[in-house]
Amino acid sequence: MIVLRNVSRVFNTSAGPVTAVDDVSLEVGQGQIYGIIGYSGAGKSTLIRLLNGLEKPTAGSVTIAGQNIATANGEALRAARLKISMVFQHFNLLWSRTVSENIAFSLQIAGAPKAQIQARVKELIELVGLAGKENTYPSKLSGGQKQRVGIARALANNPEVLLCDEATSALDPQTTDAILELLLDINRKLQLTIVLITHEMHVVRKICHRVAVMEEGRIVEEGEVLSVFTHPQKPVTRQFVKQTTEYSSADTPFNAALVDGDAGSVLKLTFVGHNTSQPIVGELTLKYALPFNILHGKMTQTAHGTFGELWLQVPASGAQLENILADLHARAVTTEVVNHD
């Protein structure tokens, strides 16, 4: 559905050329929810403008639904943009129009018949959960309701791709989760391809199939969400993954440095999929007749599976510790020795 090949965007400024997007290549499959995450200045906003044709790449190609957006002009570009819609961080609603009128606006611009507009607006209001708010003005809506209007408006012309530019960053955590559930529901019902630009790993964890991590204009890491969460390779990715631990006030980040190092080795275990329900620690306790002290643990749910992290302390070293690590490896449990006794 979306293919970027060696895409760069360089801006000429008074201080010299600035590379906002640097040789980026990625693919987004039909019906995928794809997350692009990075801190401010990473190049995310420029990348999304390249996807909808608001920016032209300095080099490379941007192909969406078979159309090269990078070279399209005039009528070809307008036709390509009909397949792409956008949801914004700050809603961008027309304050003088009601919910129904906001949703109808893009259909009116496209010249759709009045009866078709009315039927489509009614359908979308039901889809995004705004029944009863048809005649309400934006000033009377909550942030989450405003974003639901924005999503409905973006879907009005039946796009093939939905771009979400920090669509939840202006919302509180509870409302964020509700909007993410709505996007997931829309993806399932319509098989719509969704690209999410965000700086929040919670957003990626909640609904994305794949994720690309951007830093200084480049994609430094890319892959399936579960794989990236359980085996982050780059420092910036590991920093983002930590957000999921700190997202809920119920989580207590674990600090291995505070553990008594004289009581044994501290191990960090990462379980994926069915391993999260296996009695692996109990089996090790029986096999080695050692007290495996559980220091901290948590489970994390992604759109495509669960993974768990568990910190243990065990009075073992040398060959015995190596045997324990080999047993864990044989059970497909990723293990890291945090410190030794």
User: Which domain, by its residues, includes 274?
Assistant: 256-339
* pLDDT tens digits for range 102-145: 999 989 988 999 999 999 999 999 999 999 999 999 999 999 99
Answer with the one of 215, 246, 277 that is the final residue of a domain: 246
Q: Is residue 287 part of a domain?
A: yes
pLDDT band per the 50, 70, 90 thresholds, residue 80: confident
* pLDDT tens digits for range 218-263: 999 999 998 898 888 999 998 998 776 554 434 455 555 555 656 7
pLDDT at residue 237 in the model: 93
pLDDT at residue 301 in the model: 73
Residue 281: give its domain's CATH number. 3.30.70.260
Residues 220 and 272 in one domain: no
- Show the 3-state SS of 199-259: CCHHHHHHHCCEEEEEECCEEEEEEEHHHHHHCCCCHHHHHHHHHHHHCCCCCCCCCHHHC
Total tally of structural domains belonging to the chain = 2
Supply the pTM of this predicted model.
0.81
Answer with the one of 225, 246, 267 that is the final residue of a domain: 246
Output the six-digit token pair for 201: 């790993």
Q: Chain-centre distance of CA 18, in angstroms?
A: 27
Residues 219 and 324 in one domain: no
Cβ-proximal residues to 54 (8 Å cutoff; 6+ apart), any chain: none
Residues 236 and 285 in one domain: no
* pLDDT tens digits for range 28-45: 999 999 999 999 999 999
Residues 150 and 106 in one domain: yes
